[in-house]
Amino acid sequence: MTGARVFAPATVGNVGPGFDVLGLCVDGAGDTVTVELVDGPDHVTVEGRDAAAIPTDPARNAAVIAARAVLRHAGASKNVRVHLHKGLPVSGGMGGSAASSVGGALAAARALGLSASPRDLMAWALEGEAAVAGRHLDNIAPCVLGGLVLIRPVSPPDVIPVPVPRPPWVALVSPAVRVETRAARAILPPQTDRAEWLLQMANTAALVLAFATGDHALLSRALSDVFAEPRRAPLIPHFHDVKAAALAAGALGCSISGAGPTVFALAADEATARRCATGMQAAFGAVPSTIHVGPVSREGARPA
Amino acid sequence: MTGARVFAPATVGNVGPGFDVLGLCVDGAGDTVTVELVDGPDHVTVEGRDAAAIPTDPARNAAVIAARAVLRHAGASKNVRVHLHKGLPVSGGMGGSAASSVGGALAAARALGLSASPRDLMAWALEGEAAVAGRHLDNIAPCVLGGLVLIRPVSPPDVIPVPVPRPPWVALVSPAVRVETRAARAILPPQTDRAEWLLQMANTAALVLAFATGDHALLSRALSDVFAEPRRAPLIPHFHDVKAAALAAGALGCSISGAGPTVFALAADEATARRCATGMQAAFGAVPSTIHVGPVSREGARPA
């Protein structure tokens, strides 16, 4: 029996103004996926966070779907036995389905002894992600590559790693409310006024420049989402208080992670990020929440 | 009689996808503005390119209006005698009105012995620009600062110099047709579909990253304007042939400079930029055109 185990980290989609085009990898939290090649039928077991909400029908499980994409590519006649240890919430806005998908793909590739390029891994993982959360690379790409990734939505997508010479720390606070990605997308308008998208565009360009040059003052000015955040904030209880708490605790910036409900803050150092997380959690009031604080991960999914 | 003379260089507004938010300073072509402080009434003389099209009514002349903004700031009781030597076309898309405005402001400040910050200069110059071409900083800012400038359209605007460690050369080819900035803006829709502005946003962020990291391959992929160029191309005869000629001659990219009709191409070196300019001029066919080839200017307006 041949197998491999992989850790696939959390990711922040959108990263403020970078709607659908930016993603950031955060270290320390993630899903762990074990794939074994077997002769029997596909099988998946799930434990850990929100495990009960994850399909154990192999045909509907993101990790299995991604692993099967690898098998198909390799022309392997085997099936997979997958064990998924969830460290990330379901529909949490921390890239949980992307992590399961990337983990499934990378573990399957390693179990088969395939040397897979990041491009291959992203394509296989996207099959899992697309089945459960839509066809988006903004979590998949940073989960594979680590760091900050900019995606030009051309066909095929142009995935651009952004250098991060002075990586900030990330505070992620996840309230115990459910925001479905599809619902969070449905409240966004199909068309946008010029002044709004020009500002969003300038902010995204400035944010990428700020990461690439290590300019935290610019990062702080540019981390401003005028498109999705104002419209999605009502889906997250106490969002404005939570953001204010992060900024009061010294965050460089704060916004919704992916489609929410997780709220992220960036900070110059670990101590500040921890203070932000504590303040944000307090601002959620009676709404229970969980915290993760970690650095921007220079590394994406990797053997565990 | 106290006076000063200033050279204010050409600028490319928009720079491909960066509609209204990016501007690039190009060396070697520009307006030269002389300002003398006098006791008599304001007076302006104009010579050089398109001189007949420039108002010699001081109240409508951009260089005078900008110079007067400086006098007002300084509380000076003097008036100005301005001589404007135009090196840039009127309504050409090479930042001619911005150059006259910046030149007028900087020359007036120097004549008064004021040490003016870039921010001050931009504010004064904007008064001249706004009177003749609209309230935009995407030519003013690079004309003052040099290099590539990103503008976050907040109030007051956040003007961000982008490092350019590996500056490309610029070929500018101006056909003898008139495109009014206001008309060129009127054909652009007030609202834009999400897929379109997301691509424009990603291209702008990627272009800024490409300049900041000296990645010419990325610059080439990112220099793609899906918003203004397709809609304005019909205003410029033979635009598609001209662009194709630039790319065939080795350009990294090619698009409309500002609101046109000047077309610019970026190239890795001077020889390639000159080949691009020649090819582009040929592709304009029977439409007469003028060429300027220069490096990205690290320096903006300066004493002449």
Interface check for B14 against chain A (CB to CB < 8 A): the answer is no
What is the rounded distance in angstroms from the CA atom of residue B62 to the CA atom of residue B108?
Answer: 13
Show the domains of chain B with their CATH numbers: 2-161 (3.30.230.10), 169-295 (3.30.70.890)
Which has the closest alpha carbon to A98: A56, A55, A143?
A143
Q: Decide if pLDDT at A112 tops 70.
A: yes
Which of B154, B208, B218 lies closest to A209 in CB terms?
A: B208
The pLDDT tens digits for A258-276 are: 999 999 999 999 999 999 9
Interface check for B226 against chain A (CB to CB < 8 A): the answer is no
When pLDDT is averaged across residues B146-161 and rounded to a whole number, the result is 97
Residue in chain A lying closest to B22 (CA): A202
Interface check for A100 against chain B (CB to CB < 8 A): the answer is no
CB B184 within 8 A of CB A236: no
Residue contact B197–A195, C-beta within 8 A: no
Mean pLDDT over each residue of chain B, to the nearest integer: 96
Residue contact A160–B20, C-beta within 8 A: no
Interface check for A134 against chain B (CB to CB < 8 A): the answer is no
Residue in chain B lying closest to A189 (CA): B194
Residue contact A200–B197, C-beta within 8 A: yes
Let me know the angle formed at the C-alpha of A98 by A93 and A99, rounded to the nearest 5 degrees. Answer: 100
Residue contact A209–B212, C-beta within 8 A: yes
Sign of the torsion formed by the C-alpha atoms of A63, A69, A72 and A74: negative
Residue contact B194–A192, C-beta within 8 A: yes
Which pair of structure tokens corresponds to residue A228? 């999705």
If 0-12 CB within 10 Å is exposed, 13-18 middle and 19+ buried, where does residue A301 land?
A: buried
CB B102 within 8 A of CB B140: yes
**What's the DSSP call for residue A296?**
B
Give the number of C-alpha atoms closer than 13 A to the C-alpha of residue A195, restricted to the C-beta side. 4
Output the pTM of the full model. 0.97
Residue contact B221–A152, C-beta within 8 A: yes
Residue contact B194–A193, C-beta within 8 A: no
Q: Decide if pLDDT at B275 tops 60.
A: yes
ipTM surpasses cut 0.90 = yes
Which of A193, A202, A218 lies closest to B153 in CB terms?
A: A202
B152 interaction partners in chain A (CB closer than 8 Å): 199, 202-203, 206, 221-222
Give me the phi and psi of B246, to 5 degrees please. Answer: -60, -45
The pLDDT tens digits for B35-72 are: 999 999 999 999 999 999 999 999 999 999 999 999 99
Mean pLDDT over each residue of chain A, to the nearest integer: 96
B148-152 and B22-38 beta bridge pairing: antiparallel
A197 interaction partners in chain B (CB closer than 8 Å): 192, 197, 200-201
Residue contact A152–B222, C-beta within 8 A: yes
The pLDDT tens digits for B90-147 are: 888 999 999 999 999 999 999 999 999 999 999 999 999 999 888 889 999 999 999 9
pLDDT > 70 fraction of chain A, expressed in percent and rounded: 100
**What's the DSSP call for residue B16?**
T
B21 interaction partners in chain A (CB closer than 8 Å): 198, 201-202, 205
Which has the closest alpha carbon to A299: A23, A8, A96, A89?
A8
**What's the DSSP call for residue A166?**
S
The residues, ordered by sequence, that sit 6+ positions from B114 with a Cβ below 8 Å of its Cβ are B70, B73, B74
The pLDDT tens digits for B210-253 are: 999 999 999 999 999 999 999 999 999 999 999 999 999 999 99
- Give the CA diameter of chain B: 59
Which pair of structure tokens corresponds to residue A168? 């900030």
Which alpha helices (H) appear in A46-175, and where do they start and end?
A: 62-74, 96-111, 118-133, 140-145
**Peptide bond preceding B163 in cis form (omega within 30 of 0):** no
Q: What's the pLDDT score for residue A2?
A: 84
Which of A21, A190, A203 lies closest to B202 in CB terms?
A: A21
The helix, strand and coil proportions of chain A, stated in percent and rounded to the nearest 5, come to 40, 25, 35
Residue contact A192–B188, C-beta within 8 A: no
B202 interaction partners in chain A (CB closer than 8 Å): 21, 150-153, 204
A153 interaction partners in chain B (CB closer than 8 Å): 195, 198-199, 202
